[in-house]
Amino acid sequence: MRNLPAFLYAGLIYGFIFLPVIVLVLFSFQESRVPVPPFDGPSLKWYDAFLSDDRVVEALLNSVIVAMASSAVSVVLGFLAAFSLARHRVRMGGLLQGLLTAPLTVSYLIIAMGLLITFNMLGIPKSLLTIGIGHVVINLPLCFAIIFSQMGAHQANMERAARDLGAREWQVLALVTVPLLWPALFAAFFLSVTFSWDEFIIAFMVSRFEVTLPVEIWSMLRTGLNPQTNAVGSFVFLVSVAIVFLLDMVLFRKKKT
Amino acid sequence: MNALAVEFRAIGMSFGTKVAVKDINLSVQRGDYVVLLGPSGGGKTTLLNILGGFLTPTAGRVLIDGADVTDIAPAKRPTTTVFQDYALFPHMTVAGNVGFGLKMQSLPKAEQSPRIAQALEMVGLAHLAGRRIHELSGGQRQRIALARALAVEPTVLLLDEPLGALDMKLRRQMQEELKAIQKRVGTTFVHVTHDQEEAMAIADVIVVMNDGFIEDLGPPERIYLRPASRFTATFMGESNLFDGKVTAVNGDRLTVEAAFGQFEITGPGEEGQEVCLVVRPEHLSSSSDENRSGRQLLLGQGRIEETGFFGTHHQCLVQLAGHGALIRLRLPQRAAPQIGDSLELFADPSDIAVVPR
């Protein structure tokens, strides 16, 4: 039993991390109107309630649009930046690389404030577009870093071989570089999707009438605790878990072959 | 049709202050198997990259088939390359790899398949068309890389140390195959290697490169038996070098004086020139040899310092009286030499080559 302290420690850590999530999910199945013990479920009535709430459904669709569009843009821009920095001698390449990854170290609150001021200055109205731009700002560095790290010399040789066999530059990218980088592009895209999906601060500060799901949850919370909020929260969480799971499956399958 | 497949005219290439090749003039006949041979850093790979279009020379022009291609991108050149690491596309099948160049030429699908089949047939791997690259062995990958490069029917095929990743036995086998395929398709091959045995086994013409210069150029026999420079003599196989001095010249017959006497040989030289005499280990014989002809020249008395059995012969290191470096020689299988044995060394003057010192 000399492992007992270790078990206790592990139990406490995992409890600390996962208990809030478990409580959230558990009370989304609550029967009565308040999400506090005792648990009197299970019931799916709050899921039914949020799915028939137009505002929540609209926010959910907004979230999907923003996540997909901003992630796609981040992956494309990150890929092109990584390709140019990895394959060409770029003047002050090291500095450019540093500037591209620097936003990873800046707090979302600061980025959100900066964006807010910039959008005001430029007269761009707050909308899904501004949220999307904000999410590209935070996800582009991530996409760039993931894709750049996977561009090895071995692939450069294959690109060389493709050129040697008569491929034009776009054909090299489409037929060799992208297919070879597929796992990295896939990982970058879905990680971006999960980050965009539950991002709150930027979405909150640069949005007005069209909001994403986390912002909608926050406004629901202001009117007090309610199992419907739990249901929406659980839904957001489950989608994130599903994406991470999918990512894991695909990347592991790739690794085995 | 031009008789010259490739022409380098005064090619120079420097990377910053480092000079990789300097003032290279080289012509390659159509249909020849040319091997660029030399130590790493000798400039042979640089020359190949210039020919393939991966490097633009800092001086001079490159002509392929009579046309100036110096500023033309690799994609548009009538050359293809077999890369050292093969650079096969792992996300495509074998047939996809071999057909890649044809697809880039926008050849109709119906014409692609017979050409792919033909290229695979040529390397004897038609049965692997549907396989993935990671399912192939090293030797098979090498062949697929060759088939992929030849499928587009280039004017010149470039091979960048193509056998470097194979084990010795497979390498020797692939050498024969490369040579046979080249003779069959008739394409000009330009092959880079640092393995002089490989070069001698496959080349029609060997170009010996060192330090950015062409040291020697010619058919393997000539390069080996009559090297043009001291570097070639020592780089191509094993050799023993003796100092000598030309005392008289009569046409291409030279009278040379060395530590072991005065004698006549054939070779280039001027009166009074200090030269190096090259004697290959297999051209030395000992007094214990029975079938020694009368024309032999006595080099002196020696003592065996080291010996090793190589299957076909015994390789011995001999200390020759009055000579600094140890002499390498080969004794017959049955000679059974012992360390400490003393012997007399003989050589036929017609086997001795002369190079500038």
Q: Cβ of A76 under 8 Å from any chain B Cβ?
A: no
Residues B84, B335: Cα–Cα separation, whole Å: 42
Q: Cβ of A162 under 8 Å from any chain B Cβ?
A: yes
Pairwise CB contact (< 8 Å): B100 & A154: no
- Asked if residue B347 lies in contact with residue B284, where contact means CB atoms within 8 angstroms, the answer is yes
B contacts of A162 (beta carbons < 8 Å): 89, 100, 104
Residues A36, A89: Cα–Cα separation, whole Å: 61
How close does chain B come to A175, measured CA to CA in Å?
A: 9
Partner-chain residue, chosen from B81, B87, B149, that has the shortest CB–CB distance to A158: B87
Confidence of residue B290 (pLDDT cuts 50, 70, 90): low
Read off the pLDDT of each residue in B257-269 and give the average, rounded to a whole number. 84
Query: Which pTM was predicted?
Result: 0.79
Residues B193, B200: Cα–Cα separation, whole Å: 11
β pairing state of B342-347 and B297-309? antiparallel
Q: Cβ of B99 under 8 Å from any chain A Cβ?
A: no
How close does chain A come to B104, measured CA to CA in Å?
A: 6
Q: Cβ of B83 under 8 Å from any chain A Cβ?
A: yes
Q: Cβ of A4 under 8 Å from any chain B Cβ?
A: no
Residues B304, B310: Cα–Cα separation, whole Å: 16
Confidence of residue A173 (pLDDT cuts 50, 70, 90): very high
Give residue A257's pLDDT: 45
Tell me the sheet residues that pair with A246. none
Interval A27-77: pLDDT, tens: 777 777 766 677 777 777 777 777 777 888 888 899 999 999 999 999 999
B220 or A39, which is more confident: B220
Interval A187-200: pLDDT, tens: 899 889 889 988 88
Confidence of residue A237 (pLDDT cuts 50, 70, 90): confident
Pairwise CB contact (< 8 Å): A166 & B76: yes
Q: Cβ of B90 under 8 Å from any chain A Cβ?
A: yes
Strand segments, DSSP code E, in B272-326 are: 274-279, 284-286, 297-309, 314-320
Tokens, residue B164: 């470097």
Give residue A1's pLDDT: 65
Give residue A28's pLDDT: 76
B contacts of A168 (beta carbons < 8 Å): 75, 104
Give residue A58's pLDDT: 86
Interval A89-136: pLDDT, tens: 878 888 988 888 888 888 889 999 999 999 888 888 888 888 899 999
Pairwise CB contact (< 8 Å): A163 & B73: yes
Pairwise CB contact (< 8 Å): A160 & B54: yes
Q: What is the largest CA-CA distance in chain B?
A: 75
- Asked if residue B246 lies in contact with residue B275, where contact means CB atoms within 8 angstroms, the answer is yes
Partner-chain residue, chosen from A160, A165, A257, that has the shortest CB–CB distance to B100: A165
